[in-house]
Structure 1
Amino acid sequence: MARRILVVTQHFWPENFRINDIVEGFLQDGLEVDVLCGLPNYPKGEWFDGYGPHGPWEEHYGTAQVFRAKEWPRKGNTSLNIFLNYVSWPLYAASALKRLPGGYDAVFCFNTSPVLMCWPAIRYAQKHRIPFTNYVLDLWPENLYSVLPVQNTLLRRIAQGVSDHLYKQADRLIAMSEPLQKRLCERTGKPESSVAAIPQYCEDFYANPQHDAALEARFTGRFNLVFTGTFTPAQSLDMVLQAVLEARADGAESLHLLLVGDGMSRESLQALARELHAEDAVTFYGSVPAKEVPKFTALADALLISLSDSPDLGLTVPGKLASYMAAGKPILASMNGAGFTAVQQSGGGLVSPACDQHALARNMVRLVQMDAADRAALGAKAKEYYLAHYRRAELLRRLETFILQGE
């Protein structure tokens, strides 16, 4: 009899999150899957076509049954609406647990922000006495502070206590890196056998370049530094934009920043670009489906990844780094910790400390002035690192084994 997994995640298809592919992988490997999730409105906070406050409440994703619960949309990405979005979905999802058919061997939460997302999973697992595994993608409350500037001491103490309590309730935790594994062991008192270090893998399609003639013609003649993903304060893209202008002034005149994505920081970034008269230096392309991202990595001369100067963000290796390395292009990284180390170990790019604008600008100039053959060699090393560390099949197998151990 096939084993059954309940996946709990606020964000799911048609939103662009890696859990979509994880569910596909589970199904391909013969597991039966039900998904409890929210109504798609990320990142803009606007309902996707066909969705709204009245559902739909049940769908299929392949052979997976999808159960949706209400949530307050993030509309405008104001602090108030993000807070209401964070707290509303877990409450609605908890009330939706009675709609689930049951018969699961394990519960698995793909725990991006907020940490409260895992609460319905805990309730279901404890009630039915089945093991619960929490995949910690965003460490809380640290990640909260990179998005919402919470300064009140009492509120910060409450956020810390709630986060620690929820992490302790999991039977098993998955961390994206060994430093995060160590931190979670310290915070929960769990042994390493209950806290696995499994990095986010990269979907296979990122390794297959898609050449788009129209797109490449539009951006030809420049050195295209491409960023893909979500725009939030955690990416420090305001600093990146100023580094681009500094590099252009220092000899990298052809440097062009191509931002592919969207998020809460987009309007402020566009305002900064206008203020700095940087319209020629940066293009805001907008969001594209995940499977179209290889069109942009294919035209890129280098790929940018940046994080703010937070020791807690440095505990993880962003999943974006795996997809960049799969593309076989040079990596330009501005970050600390585990991500810094991964780029250094790969030899596949240039890396500078988080939020060091001048060091990042110098690396931009180096890349632009580097021989094409040397840049190609960096890209080849990045691809080798991806093949050794971020392959989908191997990491999916490790996920399934850990979630279902003893079942």
Structure 2
Amino acid sequence: MSDKTILVWFRNDLRVHDNEILLEATRKADKILPVYCFDPHYFQASTAGSLKTGSIRARFLIESVADLRTSLRNLGGELVIVQGNPAELIPQLAEQYQVSEVYHHREVAFEETGISEEVEAALWKMKLNLKHFIGHTLYHKEDLPFPIKDIPDSFNTFKKKVERDSNVRPCVQTPEAIHIPDVADAGEVPSLEQLGLTEPFDDARAYRFVGGETAALQQLDYYFTHQPVTIVKKGSSAASRLSPWLAMGCISPRQVYWELVKHGQNVNNHPLMLELLWRDYFRFMFKKHSSKFYSAAGFKNTAPELAANQDELFEQWKAGRTGVPYIDACMHELNATGFIHNSCRQVVAAYLTKELKVDWTRGAQWFEEKLIDYSPASNWGNWAYIAGVGNDPRENRYFNPKTAAELDPKGEYVKLWLNEEADSKLAASA
């Protein structure tokens, strides 16, 4: 093997287990240079005025990057941390460390792919290749029973065909050791203040998500060893709560799948499998349809009818002041914790779009700021479905929001999250 250094550009794949780009780089090069770039683009305001990344998700990201650095150091490596435009910094690092090639996982949303294209163009001027890998889905694109352009728009059809005709690949090995070049300055993990954010208030009513692969693997083990014990706060049904770690790539969908198999679960009928399939489906739909998911009209010719005073209604909704107790409780939990159960998400989205008649894209942008498990495809795909402008809006068997009476028959959830004393503490900390 020739004297070769490969730069591994980490993005939403913050793990050392089942990480193909990391393993492949260690096999193809003498040395690797792991890099994470805190891109200011993700910490600015969106077009609607909300932040692209709120403080709770940013803290989770910081913790995840710090944990990845620890894991790499335990293997003899290091994580170089920089802050700025990756299209400028990645080529600079490539030149500084005489890199032969750059590896990264391919994204599907237009902002993320746009950033990749900028980096690729900058590297191309240096005659360096940006090699793309596929590592965010349960089913590998090459193993699907149809090309991306022919993926069924119906989730039911997609689900049946992949379960019948595709197989989940085994997890790749974890590198035994990592060799890096002499790093002049590995950089520091930035604070929230350095990212332009403030420290979030930890609400005593909330489950505290800790970022990183270490916590992800602990949560995966906890989920299986405590079933069917309820592992969430009052007002929600038992859930894995793995979505924040899946969104950040601290754990892979394949790891979750093979853990299901290991524990002898009926995989195809398991709720976790359904969650993983929806994640795959929306990622592949984004690959197929791209920007349609960001349009208010979605896959229709016209956008839904809007209320005249939607600015006022939207402010009431996002602050949890609609006067509908269950809706307000869900929004209070979301704003305080960055997480709500999927049933809550469907209910509040349906209320915003169907009852209040507010532009659904505003709700999607609010979730983008607040959700600790935000990922573009799942977020925007789900909102489009609820708004009735998805690529198959007639198929709603999985998107049929339950009533508050079904979800909170004793009013325990509402009582927990519509608490004036706790809410005043949260407001004071904001």
Instruction: Normalising by structure 2, report the TM-score.
Output: 0.32
Q: TM-score, normalised by structure 1?
A: 0.33
* Larger relative contact order (Cα-Cα within 8 Å, sequence gap ≥ 6): 2
Q: Which has the higher strand share?
A: 1
